[in-house]
Structure 1
Amino acid sequence: MVNPDPRSRLLKAAIRLLATHGPTEIKARSVSSEAGLSTMGVYTHFGGVSELLQAVAEEGFRQQADIFRQVANTQDAMTDLCAIALACRDFAMRNAHLYDLMFGLSIQGRYGPVRGESTTAPKVGADAFMASYSHLRGGCERLIKGNCVRQMEPDLMAAQLWSTLHGFILLELGGHFAATLNPPIEILVPMCINLVVGLGADRERAKASAAIAVADWASRQCDTKSMAQFLNAVNTI
């Protein structure tokens, strides 16, 4: 078995440490030790800890993009957008520290989708961010072109869905929905339905499309209760 190159070993080591200890543990010495390399390797292969954190965030977006690519594959854009929302939530739940780093929420996660001129803080490369975001934007563009919602700029619609999705995720990660049996099904999906209906979509069609995404999501988790919870939730909106 071929040993991964030093840069890959350092990146994987940083991701492991991030998952178990959070971003404050991502230091040149700890990452190098985890990777079985000298401390100098972080500076040789990345330039420093800030650049290593940037690479970790970019890897997070690549992983997220792979997940979105797997779920957003039907002929129904509304189903695909709902599937993306559920997949994004699940990714965040499994990778809370990585998610924080990707979206600039942790102390060391001062990253955004493009490089800015007003700050010296590293930024996640546009390509890494767009590899993930393009799936959401593409679904919005398909809805608009298919006259399923009113005519608007796809980027504006995607921004609204992105904001809705990540607002929910942050609240769930913070434990604000602890009293809810199934937050993604009882809160997130109905909220997304309400948003697209507000943008001009037919409510019954939106519910039907969302139900397909929920059924697929539930089947992959062997969760037989989610559909009943979803139907109960959408019948109230």
Structure 2
Amino acid sequence: MPRPRTHDEALRLKLLDRAGELISADGPKALSLRKLATDVGTSTTAVYSLFGSKPDLVNALYVEGFRRFGERLRAVERTGDAVADLVRLGVAYRESAQADPHLYAIMFTRSVPGFEPNAEADRIARTTLEPLEEVIREGISSGQFADVEPAVIVVSSWGLVHGLVSLELSGNLPPEFSVSGAYEQALRANASGWLTSAARNR
């Protein structure tokens, strides 16, 4: 009988999640491959077999974060209402960050000094915002959103959700501020601000 594979996808994901947790809790210096292997109950040989070097492991973390993020955005159902769809994508953005906070910092803050994603990782990261770009382009072409350069709305909308989510995850929001109550309000106000006069009067 063939020997069972022990260095499988399940182990790879366990190692990635634990590596992200170590960096998130104690900084990049906490990422020892020996400690990582011990924490997950495997060997350093398995870590090297699955990822290669420590920089390769960090690159894999970056890719995994954007893979999960992209899946959540692509799973958002479209309604044809540009404002509603933009709000839904913003909600999915926050849910993704809450589900994987240990990956969020690696994705957006480059929390590992000197780390630069390779070309393939960079390409994957860039494609994750395609659902946002599609909704905005459709909103402009349908006459719902103002006829401006799509990138203006994309970056403005992204900046709003990223800023609020980052403040929430870092614990830097005022204690009296209820994110759950205000987040969707902020998203809707931003999206509605891009509506044309005709769309507002429908």
Using the size of structure 1 for normalisation, the TM-score is 0.68
2:187 equivalent among 189, 192, 200:
192
What CA distance in whole angstroms lies between the structure 1 residues aligned with 2:93 and 2:42? 33
Match of residue 154 from structure 1: 150
Q: Partner amino acid for 2:104?
A: Y
Q: Partner amino acid for 2:131?
A: H
Instruction: Using the TM superposition, give the Cα deviation of residue 191 of structure 1 relative to its aligned residue in structure 2, in angstroms.
Output: 2.4
What CA distance in whole angstroms lies between the structure 2 residues aligned with 1:77 and 1:200? 9
In structure 2, relative to structure 1, the CA distance for the partners of 1:75 and 1:197 (3 Å cut) is closer
Match of residue 55 from structure 1: 60
Match of residue 66 from structure 1: 71
Match of residue 76 from structure 1: 81
In structure 2, relative to structure 1, the CA distance for the partners of 1:10 and 1:130 (3 Å cut) is same
Identity %: 24
Using the size of structure 2 for normalisation, the TM-score is 0.78
Q: How does 1:54-203 map to 2 (within 5 A)?
A: 54-106=59-111, 108=112, 121-123=116-118, 125-175=121-171, 176-180=173-177, 182-186=178-182, 188-201=183-196
Secondary structure at 2:78's aligned position in 1?
Answer: coil
* Poorly superposed stretches of 4+, deviation over 4 Å: 201-206
In structure 2, relative to structure 1, the CA distance for the partners of 1:92 and 1:12 (3 Å cut) is same
Q: Which runs of 5+ in 1 are unaligned?
A: 112-120, 207-237
Instruction: Using the TM superposition, give the Cα deviation of residue 51 of structure 1 relative to its aligned residue in structure 2, in angstroms.
Output: 1.5
Higher RCO by CA contacts (8 Å cutoff, separation 6 or greater): 2
The C-alpha deviation readout for 1:108-130, integer Å capped at 9, x for no partner, is 1766xxxxxxxxx3347234213
Number of positions where the alignment pairs a residue of Structure 1 with one of Structure 2 = 194
What CA distance in whole angstroms lies between the structure 1 residues aligned with 2:127 and 2:196? 27
